[in-house]
Amino acid sequence: MEERQYRRTLAENESGDFVGRAAEMDRLIALAAGDRSAIVAGPPGVGITELLKQTYDRLFSQRTEVIPFYFALNFSGETAEQTARRFLHQFLLQTVAFRRADGAILNWFPDLCELGELAVPADGHWVDRLVSKFTAAYPECDDDSLIKTCLGGPIRAAASGARVFVMIDNAHAAAHSEAAAAILREIEQIYPASGVPYVIAGRRRYSFDMLERERILIEPLAFGDVVLVAENLAERYRVRMNDETRDLVANQFGENIEFIRFMFQTAAEKNEHFESFMQVEKAYAQEIFGGRIRRYYDALIESIAPDEALQKSIISLLDVAVTLGTKQLSVESWLKHLAVSEAAFSRIISLLNIHELVRLTGSRVEAMDGSQILFDYVTSRFRLEIAGEQRAALFGECVADYLKRAPRIMAAYYRRLASLGLRELLAAFSLQQVPLGLLDYGIYADEYKGLPAEEIEAGLGREAERVQLPQIVYTAYAADLYKPIGEIAEKERSAIALGFQEGRYSDEDEVVWVAAEIDPKLEASRELAEFWCDRLEMVALMCNFGNYKIWMIAREGFTPEAMEMLRRRGAYASSRRQVEYLRSIVSAKQGKRDAGLADEYEVVVPMDGASEMIAAHTLEEIARRHNVSAKAINQIKTALLEASINAAEHSLSPDRRIHQKFRVEDDRITITISNRGLRLADRKPPVEAAPTAEAGSERRGWGLKLIERLMDEVRIEQTDDGTSISMTKFFGSEAAA
């Protein structure tokens, strides 16, 4: 962690208080060291500006040869020429401060000529020429030439041997200001071929179509990191809080780190503390009615629609959207109520979408789900300015409402902590073979319930009847696709997973799992199981899922009557204990093997008999080197030859190559044979098949049986363009073969 400690120069927070963005910052630092560019995008309030400034501070403190340069576009008030001049001035100012290792220079206000005098001798030649070119060009030259001269400053520096990393913030300002849009277009024209690494950052819904670059998506911080942010801010602003109020703040504002800072800033100014839910919610109400949060949204809406009457129309429509909840208004309704030209309307609705005040879904305008702070702002402003309610009475009512809501926020948080994480679990499904006893509570109850954990694990490992999980490619909360399900269950307790049962990527192979976690105190009754089965089937039907599988989880499992009904309807049902065993199986595929050191060897051979023998001899040498017994070596060689013959005879491989990987660990050797061509699942018999089976097809079936007998574990997988067979032999197991 010491390497991440650096002096604060531009950033809002000290480096030690900046949490949760180590991976993103490392990616930016890697870009600075190369010659690539990237887009940095995320939702409002996740701290993109702070990330860029922290990256600047880290580069500034490390004193490498890379000069960091941060520049933010303005939303209004500047012409393109003024923006370009500010760009050049900031670039030279930051260069001088970096070269002189003095961040205080950034607070000076020298003009360009003074900056030329302040430049260190190593930079003097190119700084002087840049200042001279600008001075000569201004004011005689046209605006385009002046803009190019100013924006080209980092490129001229790079041409003279000074490496620069350019960070352009607030790209979405281009949606507000034609001047910012012109600057952004010019940057995109002159920088890609310059070799100067740069990033352009902004809102995730801003159209970066003209900027085809690597994308770094900034997601909201994890809850644990939000807690650390709250603790750091409490210490910084000397605001007392306890664990309960800290968790309330983290849950209530977790999507927007900037609003958390607003809360602590205001509390510090008023010498208030967060030692009870009442204190937190009173401070929050003050923010909504007239504090920084209110001013943030007011300024944002004013930048979208400067006219006061138009602002009231927007607030009225937003109030309708958030009040109706699941309902939406059409774009035509918005256009009619705003009563502006189509061009003005297009700009307004686009900006509302970019700043995530609404969500555009085709021809509908939808309220932002889950944005409770936006909901409270819109409701309070509508009731004050449009409905004309009395401020003091409304403030008191809202404080009471917010305070009543606080325990519900925390209760939902505690339920989330206790949930299984269905969406994450389903996302880990990838064609694993698992015991049926983990998906059928009846089997588990009859065979394993009440046994010690080690006996359950051993029994599951021996279980012959297996289920192949699908290869999941997309997951979502069920409530995001079918909102009514969210009215009877917390969002995190139901999920939808789309995938392919055999990994064949065809319509016939496509399958959707619809899963839910239910919470009866005892085993779920037939009535409860049927209720949920009906609801989950409704999700599948309303979402037009053709081939689907229902999976329900109850803490203590299901009664025999419930299991009988669920089996008739083709549904799976598990207890929490079964799910934990299932999770350990699907998540251990890599972790267990990677825990220790292993030697790996890769061989690529052409598809012919001689090459297969060469590969077998190579494997023998590798096995001998690792002290594998002679009997095991013979078994492994035979399995290798059979698998290679199988691949050569039936794959129709276009490159006629077999890829072999040998992995040797302390207790096992794993051989993976893969090839391009027809996958096993895609192979079809000839249309005019002979009445007697070909010898090759008989031999192939016999060969696979032989491999399974010789090796301890055999797994056949369909890859994107071929087949892979993985065979494992545990050392010392050859006696049983």
pLDDT tens digits for 96-131?
Answer: 999 999 999 999 888 888 888 888 888 888 888 888
**Three-class SS of residue 425?**
helix
| Confidence category of residue 136, pLDDT binned at 50, 70, 90 | low
Q: Which residues are paired to 673 by β-bridges?
A: 660, 725
pLDDT at 298: 97
Q: Among 162-176, 448-462, 584-598, where is mean pLDDT lowest?
A: 584-598
- Gyration radius of the chain's alpha carbons: 32
pLDDT at 275: 96
Sequence-distant (≥ 6) Cβ neighbours of residue 207 within 8 angstroms: none
At position 662, the amino acid (one-letter code) is F
3-state secondary structure 174-229: HHCCHHHHHHHHHHHHHCCCCCCCEEEEEECCCCCCCCCCEEEECCCCCHHHHHHH
Is the distance from CB of 602 to CB of 617 less than 8 angstroms? no
Largest pairwise CA distance in the chain: 94
Q: What is the pTM of this model?
A: 0.75
pLDDT higher than 50, residue 222 = yes
Is the distance from CB of 172 to CB of 206 less than 8 angstroms? yes
pLDDT at 285: 97
pLDDT at 719: 67
> Residue 25 region, left (φ>0) first, then alpha (ψ -120 to 50), else beta?
alpha
| Confidence category of residue 651, pLDDT binned at 50, 70, 90 | low
Q: Cis omega (within 30 of 0) on the bond before 139? A: yes
Could you write out the DSSP letters of every residue in 218-237?
-PPPPHHHHHHHHHHHHHHH
Q: Which residues are paired to 563 by β-bridges?
A: none
pLDDT at 489: 81
Convert the pLDDT of each residue in 664-686 to its tens digit.
Answer: 887 788 888 888 766 555 555 44
| Confidence category of residue 630, pLDDT binned at 50, 70, 90 | confident
Give the best-scoring range by mean pLDDT among 30-44, 311-325, 632-646: 30-44
**For 246-275, what is the mean pLDDT?**
94
Average pLDDT score, the chain: 87
The sign of the dihedral angle between the CA atoms of 177, 183, 189, 193 is negative
CA dihedral of 579, 585, 586, 587, whole degrees rounded to 10: 100
pLDDT higher than 90, residue 688 = no
pLDDT at 612: 73
Strands (E), 446-547: 466-468, 471-477, 494-500, 510-518
Q: 550: closest CA among 581, 526, 505, 514? A: 514
Q: 488: closest CA among 524, 530, 532, 543? A: 532
**How many Cα atoms sit within 13 Å of 30 on the Cβ side?**
9
Query: Could you report how far apart the first and last alpha carbons of the chain are, in Å?
Result: 51
pLDDT at 138: 59
pLDDT at 170: 96
Q: How far apart are CA 565 and CA 573, in angstroms?
A: 11
Q: 520: closest CA among 505, 504, 532? A: 532
pLDDT at 689: 42
Domains of the chain by start residue, with CATH? 2-217 (3.40.50.300), 422-591 (3.40.1340), 596-680+695-736 (3.30.565.10)
| Confidence category of residue 212, pLDDT binned at 50, 70, 90 | low
Convert the pLDDT of each residue in 178-204 to its tens digit.
Answer: 999 999 999 989 998 899 999 999 999
| Confidence category of residue 350, pLDDT binned at 50, 70, 90 | very high
pLDDT at 700: 47
Task: Let me know how long the chain is.
Answer: 737
Could you write out the DSSP letters of every residue in 651-669?
S--SS-EEEEEEEE-SSEE
Instruction: State CA 307 to chain mean position distance.
Output: 38
**What are the two backbone dihedrals, phi and then psi, of residue 217, each rounded to the nearest 5 degrees?**
-90, 125
pLDDT higher than 60, residue 367 = yes
